[in-house]
Structure formats: structure tokens, C-alpha cells
Structure 1
Amino acid sequence: MAGRLRAPTGRYGGKTAAQRQAERRERFLDAALELFGGTPGYRATTVAALSEAAALSTRQFYEEFRSLEDVLAALHLKVNAWAEEAVLAAAADARGLPLTERAAAVFRAYAANVTADPRRVRIAFVEIIGVSPRLEEQRLARRARWVDLICAEARAAVSRGEAPPRDHRLAATAFIGSVNGLLHDFSAGWVDATLDEVVDELVRQLLGILRPPGRSPAGPGR
């Protein structure tokens, strides 16, 4: 890849070059979670500071990444992947539950994963904002993936007769915007509420999307 130094090859200390490279990359990402997600934040972190926090050299940094923006991009995807794994596991565990219980369990799994570490909240909802057109495109693409997941859950609820048929995409997009905005503001200290209260409000919004007031599900599940 242009802009990167060639990584060493061969086996050393019982590990292959690929294994050592993967370990270095993880050390940089762990350090980035600490610095980007805590103090001093992405914009005030330097390559030298990140390398020092990872106990690696700047030369090794440029073997793995072209820039700090690349690190933030990788970390943003990783935080979202952790949350998605939690959501999919919760959805599997909640299979067969009524819609209200299932939706609450799935979203609480998401919220618990993201908010378990304040650094994850900051990476997902604060530091990624306004960095560059490239990262904005990534953020919106990842948001669209969450919208797709909600729409798939809604279609499944409709097929079971638990929710009325309609196009859920607009409402799902609005909900994801609410999640991003509310968790961002909570993380920044702008919301006078506990985390549990924030999550409860978002669960109510999600259930309102799947089963809006005044609309009854059709089919055998009525």
C-alpha cells in the first residue's frame, strides 16, 4: 500500500510476521481507544504520543497506518462491530419472545455494549464527527447498516403479525439519529438524566416505530 513501509517477514519469537503485525496493530488501536476516547482526544493526539502509549515506535506506526485518521477509522469500525456482535447475540437469545420484550432486549444489549466504556461512546458519537469527508462517509455508511438491521427486525415482526406493514426505513433512520444525538449529548454532559433513563427513552422510541399508536398488526398474530 502506498505510503506505508514494508513490514518485516519471517518468524521471530515463535510468531509469524503476520501475527506480530496483527499484535502491533491491536496495540495501536488499544492506545487509540485510550487517547482518542479519553484524554487528550483524537484532534490533540500526535503520532509520537500514540506510539509512546502503545510502547511502539513511530516507524512501526507507519508500517501499519498511513495517518491518525486511518487509526480513528479502524477504531470506529471496531467499536461498531463490538456493538453489532452484542445485538446479534441478543437477537438470537430473544428469538421467540413477544415484540416488545425482544426489541427492548436487543436495544439494551446495544446500549450496554456501547456505554459500558465511556471511551466507546466518545469514539462512536463524538470524535468521529467532522473529521473529514471520508470519515463522514464511513459514519453514514455504518449508520445505514444499523438502519438496515432495524428494518429487518421490523419486517420479521410484520411477518409474525406483531407489527403493521409499512415502510419502516424513514422511521428507523430518524431513530438512529435520535440514538446518535442523545448518546452524544449524554456523553458531553448536556443531558440531565441517568444512562438508564436515556436508554429507557430510546427503547420507547424504538417500540413506537415498530408498533405505532393507533395502528394494529394484521394477520394471524393479532
Structure 2
Amino acid sequence: MAGRLKAPTGRYGGKSAEQRQAERRGRFLDAALQLFGDTPGYRGTTVAALSEAAGLSTRQFYEEFRSLEDVLAALHLQVNDWAEKAVLAALDAADGLPLVERATAIFHAYAANVTGDPRRIRITFVEIIGVSPRLEEQRLARRARWINLIRGEARAAAERGEAARRDYRIAATAFIGSVNGLLHDWSAGWVDATLDELVDELVRQLVGIMQPPGWSGKDPS
């Protein structure tokens, strides 16, 4: 199929075409969160099944999306946006706090948001993997945003004298990998710990990266 079908225009039932389109899209994404994030998963879902779960027709599906991959792409971005919004709000609320308290606020916000719904974990860490080069590029791009957030926090902490001054590019990349792996394994039942214990461990790791052994808190320059 070359592209989406043309959506209807004009007002109906007191709603504009744009409002109706946004509602339809939201219903498809809600249905996708359930089907992709639970049973049968992305690879076991058909357009007909997704449309039925959304209470809409396949024609309406193709007015909004070209393929199920487009739906997964949109859902992956949405789940990441929810987590990012929670983290940015926590960062704003933690403004001025010491490094450990600020890091704890960040990870509590992220972990609570991502693990609060197991379907989000599956979308973020399971269903998106190996679908296509396009979605792999999107996954890595979104991961890069989290890496850059950690790098930004590290630079800011260094400016405050709370962290070593160095290039955190590799360290932040490795750290985000450990965050994702730990949360995935915990959600799968492979790590026997409370969420608070996970957050405490992540904070210890991050602080250890920013304040390595031998660091005195003084700028060597």
C-alpha cells in the first residue's frame, strides 16, 4: 500500500475531523498497548484483530496508519514520552537538591513510570527488538536521549563540584544499558528485589561513576 487512505473532513457529532482522527488514533494505540504489550504480542497481532480491539474498522486503521509497524513505532515513542515526561517533572521538583537525592528522584520517577504497567516494559525492551532497521534506528535514537540526559546531569554535577570533570559519553551509554537490563530482568521476575532496592542500586552505580575512587571533589584544573 502506497500510503494511508484519505480521512474524512468536516464536523460530525460536534467534533472536528482533527478531533475524531486524534480519538481514533488514541483508540488504536490503546488497543496496541494491550495486544502488543500482552497477548499475543506485536508479531501475533493482525490489522483485523487490532481494529476489532479498538472497536474500529480496518478501513479506519488504514486512514491512520500504513502498517502495524507504524503502530508499534508510534506506541514505542508514546511509552518513552510518558517516561521522559515523568523524569523531567522529577528533575524540576529536585532542583537544588544534592546529587544523591536528585539521582534518587530521577530513578524513582523513571522506574515507577516504566514498571507501573508491565505492557510498557514489553513494548520498550522486547517487542521493539529485531522488527526492522527503521525501528532499530528509532530505538537507538530514543536511548540516545536518555544517555544525553545522564551526560547533562553529570556535567551539571561537575559544575557544582559534586562529580569528576570528564567525558561521560561511554560511561553514560554503559549505565543506561544496565538500567534497561536491570528493569527488564526485574519485571520478568529474574531479580528478587523491591523497586526501592533497584533504585538504590542504580543510584549507587551512578554516584560511583560520577565520584570514582580517588576523586577529592577538587577540580584538578
Same fold (TM over 0.5): yes
Q: Which amino acid aligns with 1:171?
A: A
Count of residue pairs brought into register by the alignment: 219
By how many angstroms is 1:203 displaced?
A: 2.2
Partner of 2:129: 129
1:82 aligns with 2:82: yes
Partner of 1:184: 184
Q: Which amino acid aligns with 1:42?
A: Y
Aligned to 1:11, what secondary structure does the other structure show?
A: coil
Partner of 2:25: 25
Contact 2:104 2:203 in 1 (8 A): yes
Partner of 2:40: 40
List aligned pairs for 1:157-168, cutoff 5 A: 157-168=157-168
By how many angstroms is 1:200 displaced?
A: 2.6
Contact 2:100 2:203 in 1 (8 A): no
Partner of 1:106: 106
Aligned to 2:191, what secondary structure does the other structure show?
A: coil
Contact 1:165 1:217 in 2 (8 A): no
| TM-superposition CA deviations, 1:99-127 (whole Å, max 9, x none) | 11111111111111111111111111111
State how far apart, in whole Å, the 2-side matches of 1:178 and 1:24 are: 37
State how far apart, in whole Å, the 1-side matches of 2:68 and 2:4 are: 13
Contact 1:5 1:62 in 2 (8 A): yes
State how far apart, in whole Å, the 2-side matches of 1:10 and 1:54 are: 23
Aligned to 1:6, what secondary structure does the other structure show?
A: coil
By how many angstroms is 1:202 displaced?
A: 1.9
Contact 1:163 1:218 in 2 (8 A): no
Aligned to 2:55, what secondary structure does the other structure show?
A: coil
By how many angstroms is 1:161 displaced?
A: 1.0
Q: Mean alpha-carbon deviation: is it higher for 134-143 or for 206-215?
A: 206-215
What is the aligned-residue RMSD (CA, Å)?
A: 1.4
Structure 2 gap ranges (5+):
none
State how far apart, in whole Å, the 1-side matches of 2:193 and 2:5 are: 48
Contact 1:154 1:210 in 2 (8 A): yes
Q: Percent identity?
A: 81
| TM-superposition CA deviations, 1:76-117 (whole Å, max 9, x none) | 111111111111110111111111111111111111111111
